[in-house]
Amino acid sequence: MGKLDGHCLCGEVTYTVANEDPVITGICHCTECRRQSGAAWSIVVAVSRDEIEITGDSLRTFDTIGDDTRVPVHRQFCGNCGSPIVSLAEWAPELAFIKAGTLEDASWLEPELEAWCESALPWALDTSREDRGYFPRGLDTEGADEPSEVQPVSS
């Protein structure tokens, strides 16, 4: 079993990644990731699109244009059980963002950064972990090399 092998809830869609060193591990707070995952955020592992192999006849794609991101994202999921598998964002044509909850074993995963923090639910943003990058918006936006300060939301 590879470190980046995974499958959907019903098991029909599976994937494996040739290179086991992720490009990015992160948390995405964007509105679409929250809606798709049904959770407060989405945990993603970015890998090279050339190196991921996804199999399963039930794989479907739903395209979104983000309320906050304003960029098209092709969201691939299992049409049988509904599990999100990968997001293919047009701003990062070389990357596939694996929805890390579908990994066989995600216990090694420690997110390096959090993106779209300005869309985060107020209770869901803990900026006390200074070794993590916090991006108010996406990684493609200005100043992406240097994460800007994100102030915790206070009432």
Name the site residues for Zn ion (rule: CB under 5 A). Answer: 8, 10, 12, 28, 30, 33, 78, 80-81
Separation of alpha carbons 74 and 97, rounded Å: 10
Length of the chain counted residue by residue: 155
Residue 83: CB minimum distance to Zn ion, A = 5
Which CB sits closer to Zn ion, 19 or 55?
A: 55
Which CB sits closer to Zn ion, 5 or 12?
A: 12
Of 57, 51, 48, 54, give the one whose Cα is nearest residue 24.
48
Residue 2: CB minimum distance to Zn ion, A = 19
Of 94, 118, 117, 98, give the one whose Cα is nearest residue 109.
98
Which CB sits closer to Zn ion, 20 or 126?
A: 126
Which CB sits closer to Zn ion, 17 or 33?
A: 33
Residue 155: CB minimum distance to Zn ion, A = 25
Do 55 and 44 touch, CB atoms closer than 8 A? no
Q: Measure CA 80 to chain center.
A: 21
Tokens of 136: 């108010």
Residue 73: CB minimum distance to Zn ion, A = 7
